[in-house]
Amino acid sequence: MKKINDKELAVQSLYNYVQFFNEKDKDKILNCLHFPHMAHSENNDPIIYKNKDELWEYLSFLYNKLETEEDWDHSTLDKAVIINSSKNAVQCSVEFNRRYKNKQSYASAVGIFTSTKKDGKWGLQLRTMIPSSGNVTLAGANTK
């Protein structure tokens, strides 16, 4: 059986986040992240979520917006390529798409996700994204 190395675990943590986001599994989503958790999008100031409750409040708002205004069905992480790494942090260039039920993309974004290793566990801790097509609401967007 092949042993999975730290870089593979770090990248897998990014895919886990998207999978659990699609499943709307609150506990799994929040447990695959590290806090404080930073999200930044486009020309918005970065938002730092201090804890799970703060982030879940935002994600609840986002789910409602995605489903009522965008007819969102799921998101896909289509690329995660390591661009920098150290013993306890891995930065990946990422591309993802928001998709309708028929799997057609209606919006995409590119950016950098950083996974960190804390207490022996890899988790997504920083997301900075820029829309590349369509109208996409990204984590870190102003909700007011």
Residues 6+ apart with CB under 8 A from 143: 58, 61
Residue 115 CB neighbours (<10 A): 30
- What is the chain's pLDDT, residue by residue, as a tens digit (144 residues)? 666 799 999 999 999 999 999 999 999 999 999 999 999 988 788 999 999 999 999 999 999 999 999 999 999 999 999 999 999 999 999 999 999 999 999 999 999 999 999 999 999 999 999 888 777 666 545 444
pTM, two decimals, is: 0.89
- What are the structural domains, with CATH classification, of the chain? 6-133 (3.10.450.50)
